Structure 1
Amino acid sequence: MPGRRRLVPLALALAVDMFGSGLFLPVSLLYFTEVAGLSLGTVGVLLSAAAVASLPVPLLVGHVAHRFRAVDRVILAQVLQAAAFGAYGWAHSAAGVLAVAMLASIGQRLFWSSFFPVVAGLGEPGEQRGHTDRRYAVTGMIQMASMGAGTLLGGLVVAYGWYQPVVWFNAVTFLVSGVLLLFAPRDAPVTAESVAGGYRAMMRDRPYLLLIAVNTVFALCSVFIGVALPVYLVEALPAPDWLVGPLLAANTVLLASGQALAVRLVRPLSRPRGLALAGVLWVVWALVYAAAVQVPGTVLIPYLLVGLILFAAADLIHAPLSNALSAAAAPPAQRDRYLAVYQYCFAFASVLAPVFFTALYTRGPAVPWLTLAALTTVATVVVHVLNGPLTAREEASSEQAVP
């Protein structure tokens, strides 16, 4: 099957999944307050507990990755999430909400711990870097476009109170996604004999561990805008409250349409240096937004738009290159395990972002942005230093893949 055709079932499955998830996103808290009758504070605690309970999943996935095909694990994740949302209608107590939220969170963590090994497995032997990066870019664009379309329609759900129907619909989208994945290519699972060293060997792999640390900071930048911008704009800046929605929507449109162009523009750079460029752009973005408290209201809107373009440019470069690099830098026999653990970058960033912002915001509205700029500067220097060893790994892996 030609390379592009191999991606079609996976792309369709991802689009259906992300559309349903985006549709549910605006009502994710409101459902349990309006339908289950729980207080908002209780729901927040329960959903956070469910997210924390799912944190061991990537480690478990990495432990059994050589026994089960990645695409089969993704199908299992969709079944678990469909079951969770199918059970939402019977969750009217704190214990019930916690149970279904844990099942949904475990399924989601299993999905992301297994999805990118499937994408990596679509590569042909000796495939050029440009084709690989473009495949990750297309995947990211489908994810953002489908999520954005679902979230946009989710506003109607809130307006008309269609809470229960959208939950059922989300359950169906997970099932449809799972069925589509049955048509995705299936590579042979890695044999246990070829997987040497386990997590002990991985813990000695300093360049890859540093790559995980760097990408945790970059992932924090990626999710930070959604957490910090609404509060910062409404409370600290002389800007209209309605500006939050258009800014975040513009960011989604850029991410859904520009990743393929971004990877084409940075192709002359190695992947680590491309990530370093993304880091520089994020540092400048954070400093620009930190200085927004000193910008007059008359020019604040175009000023924030310029900052948003810097953020989007960084994210457009980072999203495809980081996933491609994480796969290329992993030992081929342990790629699924490495990529499962690599997902902790995004898990930790999602958990840390609210605490990071709120704790620092109390010290001054610009402090979170300045601190993020400092952390990102360190991460950018580290990934630049890693250029040599990580690029050498990519080249060695590419040579091994050529028959």
Structure 2
Amino acid sequence: MAGAGTDGTGRRGRSSRPLLAAVAIDSLGTGLYLPLSLLYFLRVTDLDLSTIGLLVSVATALTLPVPLAVGRLVDRLGPRPVVAGGQALQGTGFLLYPTVSGAASLVAAVLVTTVGLRIYWSSVFTLIADHADAEGVDAKDHWFARTGMMRETGAGGGALLAGLLLTADSTRVYDGLVLGSALAFLAAALLVVFAVPSAPHAPPPAGAHVGLRALLRDRPYLALIGTCTIFALCSTFLTLSLPVYVVQGLSGPSWAPGPLLALNTLLLATCTAAYNRFVRRHCTRARAMAWAGGLWVLWCAASAAAVLLPSKALVPYLVAVVMCYTIAEMTYGPSSNALAAAAAPAGSRGTYLAAFQYSFACSSIVAPSLFGLLFSQNRLLPWLAVGLLATLGGVLMLRLEHRLPPEHRTPEHQGGTQDAVPERAE
């Protein structure tokens, strides 16, 4: 029997390839620049690290209002031109990087790039969800799993390539990587415009409240965003905490964080879709997210317990710890995005999914300072705090499930659900 969403001829695979390729190329651009980050501006300007960090933070903060405006634009125009516009703007911003010589030009370049980044992330999930809708039964989870794998593949490959090239420690290499990032984003934009097929974008029901007004009155969805902000803090803590905790908190080998993070990326890039199919056969999206919270609690407890181990057992133990985190991430990522898309009413999906991105934006702002503050007091405090947050998120998700649109199982219950028409208990 052909899988859900196909006609038995592989049409789904052919129609999804351009979008998957665009996501991978976009992530390649991110991965190429990621190892440079603040180092690029240290090399090409006379500014010190604290000043550069402050300027980048200010430029990033200025873009926080962008998603809500983008969401309304997506509802009016559809997501495809908005996604391409965000990618093109990111590419343009990176083309400005070689012109940076001081504070003003740095802020301008970062501002253009970050606005493009906000536009892209505030629209690409609507584009993915619209394409998933065209396939019918239970396609959202699979689409978000596959695009997540493409993001990990592109970002991981770009970071690996950049790391190898940076061993030359040459300004030409730095500029070449920035140019490569720019070209990757521009190529992704062209691919979206000319190769990604259009997908139906549902209009709002007659007389329905739409846009920001509807979102602000939708208390269950706002609660979903708040709960996912808690989970997003858990999700961002691995790359943030692992290098510092292993080297300073556990006195472990300095070479260990790199391979451990690479293991996480490899598993996410290769196993997410298959694991997501297993999850969907056994539980709803909300319960999968609660289960991810439980796995993050286990990850935090295991990370804290690492202080009790002898040095010879530390690295093998941390491999198991990272795998626990990775399973939580594979459980949470596709389920949360699919649930956010399914719970958004027709005609306002762009606004709703753009607002949903604030869960990630807020966590990326809070997590570094939270980890730094807690770790400076005691090496175990970050794990206690995140473990408690993960517990809270799991409990809230289970309580919230009945207030979100129900998932109606297919008669065969062969790994499929069909998204219900959103009906909420206010």
What TM-score, normalized by structure 2, do the two folds share? 0.89
Tell me the residue number matched to 2:150: 142
Q: 1:125 to 1:24 in 2, by over 3 A?
A: closer
DSSP-derived class of the 1:123 partner: helix
| 174, 177, 198: which one aligns with 1:163 | 174
Supply the distance in 2 between the matched residues of 1:277 and 1:192 (Cα, whole angstroms). Answer: 33
**Structure 2 partner of 1:59:** 68
Q: Secondary structure at 2:136's aligned position in 1?
A: coil
Taking the aligned partners of 1:98 and 1:243, their CA distance within structure 2 comes to: 35
Of 251, 264, 289, the residue aligned with 2:303 is: 289
- Aligned-partner Cα distance in 2 for 1:85–1:30: 15
Amino acid at match of 1:112: W
1:1-400 maps to which residues of 2 (within 5 A)?
A: 2-124=11-133, 127-129=136-138, 131-160=139-168, 161=170, 162-182=173-193, 183-187=195-199, 196-267=209-280, 268-392=282-406, 398=419
Structure 1 pair 205–192 and aligned structure 2 pair: CA distance change class (3 A) = closer
Q: CA deviation at 1:397?
A: 7.6
- Determine the C-alpha separation between the residues in 1 that align with 2:13 and 2:120: 22
Contact 2:229-2:363 at 8 Å conserved across structures: yes
Q: Secondary structure at the match of 2:404?
A: helix
What residue identity is the alignment partner of 2:348? Q
Between the aligned partners of 1:251 and 1:66, the Cα distance in structure 2 is 35
Separation in 2 of the partners of 1:57 and 1:68? Answer: 16
8 Å CA contact 2:28–2:157 kept in 1: the answer is yes
Deviation at 1:193, TM superposition (A): 7.8
> One-letter code of the match for 2:183?
V
Query: How far apart, CA to CA, are the structure 2 residues paired with 1:75 and 1:184?
Result: 10
Letter in 2 for 1:91: V
Rate the CA distance shift 1:126–1:138 in 2: closer, same or farther, 3 A: closer
Q: What is the CA-CA distance between 1:197 and the residue it aligns to?
A: 4.4
Gaps of 5+ in 1: none
Bigger mean CA deviation after superposition, 181-190 or 355-364: 181-190
Cα deviation digits, residues 114-135 of structure 1 (max 9, x gap): 0000000002457121x33111
Deviation at 1:6, TM superposition (A): 2.3
Residue 328 of structure 1, CA deviation: 0.6
Q: Retained in 1: the 8 A contact 2:247–2:253?
A: yes
| TM-score of the aligned structures, taking structure 1 as reference length | 0.94
Farther off after superposition, 196-205 or 264-273: 196-205
The residue identity in structure 1 corresponding to 2:285 is R
Partner SS for 2:252: coil
Deviations 1:354-373 (A, max 9, x none): 01101111221000110110
Counterpart code for 2:166: V
**Per residue, is there more helix in 1 or in 2?**
1
Secondary structure in structure 2 of the residue aligned to 1:362: helix
Is the CA contact (8 Å cut-off) linking 1:328 and 1:393 kept in structure 2? no
- In the alignment, the residues of structure 2 paired with residue 167 and residue 336 of structure 1 have an alpha-carbon distance, to the nearest angstrom, of 30
Change (3 A) 1:312 1:343: same
Moved more, 100-109 or 228-237: 228-237
Q: Is the 8 A contact 2:295 2:324 kept in 1?
A: yes
CA distance 1:391–1:191, change in 2 (3 Å): closer
1:66–1:192 Cα contact (<8 Å) kept: no
Aligned-pair CA distance for 1:391: 4.8
Displacement of 1:326: 0.5
